[in-house]
Each structure stands twice: as C-alpha cells, then as structure tokens.
Amino acid sequence: MKNYRLKSFSKINLSLRVIKRLKNKYHKIQSYMAFVDLHDLIYVSKSKNLKDKVIFSGKFKNSININDNTITKVINLLRKKNKLKNIRFNIKIIKKIPTGSGLGGGSSNAATLINFFNSKMNLKLKKREIIQLAYRVGSDVPACMAQKSLFLLGKKIKILKANRFKLIFLIVFPNIPCSTKKIYSKNNIFSPAKFISYNSTNNKKKYLNFLKREKNDLEETVVKIYPMIENLIKEISIQKGCFFSRLTGSGSACFGLFSSVKYATMAKNLIRRKFPGYWCKISKTI
C-alpha cells in the first residue's frame, strides 16, 4: 500500500433550522449546505508496527484529543466489524480547518477516511452499513461523505442542482472554539422546516435569494455567549459585494457570500485590519 494523500473538505451551513429536540437529546435540523476548497490533508499508509499511529499537525492541531477523535473512532468501529484485520496504519492529518468553528473539519476527516477505506481496502460495505457507521462517529459525518451542495432534513440528504454554481465565501474564525454540545444544549430557538423547490436550486438567483431570507437558529445562542460574534457578522455583511453573512453550524466561524473574488479580497483586508487576531480565508465551492 502506497502513501495516500487525501483532501478533506470543509462544509458551510448556508442555513440551519433547529426543528425539534429528540428524545435521545440530539436535535433534528434542516440545513442547506455547501462544501468549499478549504481542506485538511490526510496521509495514510500501512504500518509495520503493532499499533496504529495517528498524528495531528498544522495550525489547528492543539485542541484535538490524540486518543479520542473522529479518526480513531472510524478505525475502532471498523475493527469491531472485523474489518481491517491485522492491518495497522500510519495516519497524519494536517489541520487547516479551524477546530470548534462549525466548519465540520472532524466530521469531514471521518467521512474522507470511511470513503477511502471502503474503496481502497475493499471493505465491501453496503450503503446502509456505511451510513450507519458514519452516524456512529458523528451526526454530520453522513452529509460530509457527499461533499456536494446538499439539503439536509434530519437523516434525509438530497444532492442539489446548485452544485454547478461557483460560490465565493469569506470565512472568518474569531479564535473561539465552540462546543457543539454546549450550543445545542443552550439553544431555545426552534423553527418549522422551510423549503425551496428542488428545480429552483438550478436557478442561481432564486436559490441565493431564498438563502438570503434564511437564518441560522443557533446564531442567537452563540451571540449570547460570545457577543463579539454579532459585531463580526454585521461587519462582514456591510462589505461591498456581500450578499449575506451569518454563522455556520454551531460556530464560531462566520461567513459572507460574495459576488466576486475581488470584493471578497477587499473585505478580507478590511476585516483583518479591524480584527487583527482573527483567521480569515477566501474559499470557493468545490
């Protein structure tokens, strides 16, 4: 087995409605999602050692538990299914996606590894088994396996026609790692599902106007805990060429959807001057 280099792409929740709290303390949500070219790198090779070796490096490695993370969960769950018998791996993850940001780095890492193992290690897992495995690692993992523009409602996932659109984002992370569990536990905002017709996602103007009128139900909760995020969202939204701005996922990363790279770059420079400690990245849909 050669040394494989995998790209694990980031997700953005263009909208997020919390429909209800479930009996298992999780939540049913509705989200329109996109995947962008911001990515972690994962290197995988077979090891001659008796144990797997998982190493995290890069700017956002520090908050990751080396013994309990989405990578180790995937490997352990596959071994419980009697897969990957007598094989050990060296896995190195270069973290370019901010952790605790709502950009889905950990979920994407797991999804990328599941797809890799199933195809390259010939695991012969059925689609149902793959989805079950993904959910056991994390609730966002099944969606991250698609890595395309999609609609999510509970466990229903539908790929959208909007994949042909190239959307341009300015993503700003204020260096505040948010706990997804904490944010959801404190959230008291619930909304009914709201849809755009599937065929309308083939029309960029209709799709973006729909998204502009949408929201992230978790935003109010995050802002109550971290008030500076409200100011950041407003600052992004007033920049020239910004169509709309909001929180992604459970935060704390915020994004602005821009009409061009030129305007996104201008906004990035202004945001950096106003918030010099914040991490900023221009990213496009893949």
Q: Would you name the residues annotated as active-site residues?
A: 11, 140
Residue 84: is it exposed, middle or buried by C-beta count within 10 angstroms (0-12/13-18/19+)? middle
Say how many CA atoms lie within 13 Å of 118 toward its Cβ: 18
Tell me the residue type at 230: E
- CA separation for the pair 13, 140 (Å, rounded): 11
Please state, in angstroms and rounded to a whole number, the distance separating the CA atoms of residues 70 and 81. Answer: 17
- State the greatest distance between any 2 C-alpha atoms of the chain, in Å, as a whole number: 57
For residue 163, the 8-state DSSP code is: G
Peptide bond into 63 cis (omega under 30): no
State the DSSP code for 81: T
Angle at 187 between CA 242 and CA 8, to 5 degrees: 55
Question: DSSP of 87-121, one letter per residue?
Answer: -EEEEEEE--SPTTSSS-HHHHHHHHHHHHHHHHT
Report the SS3 class of residue 147. coil
3-state secondary structure 231-276: HHHHHHHCCCCEEEEEECCCCCCEEEEECCHHHHHHHHHHHHHHCC
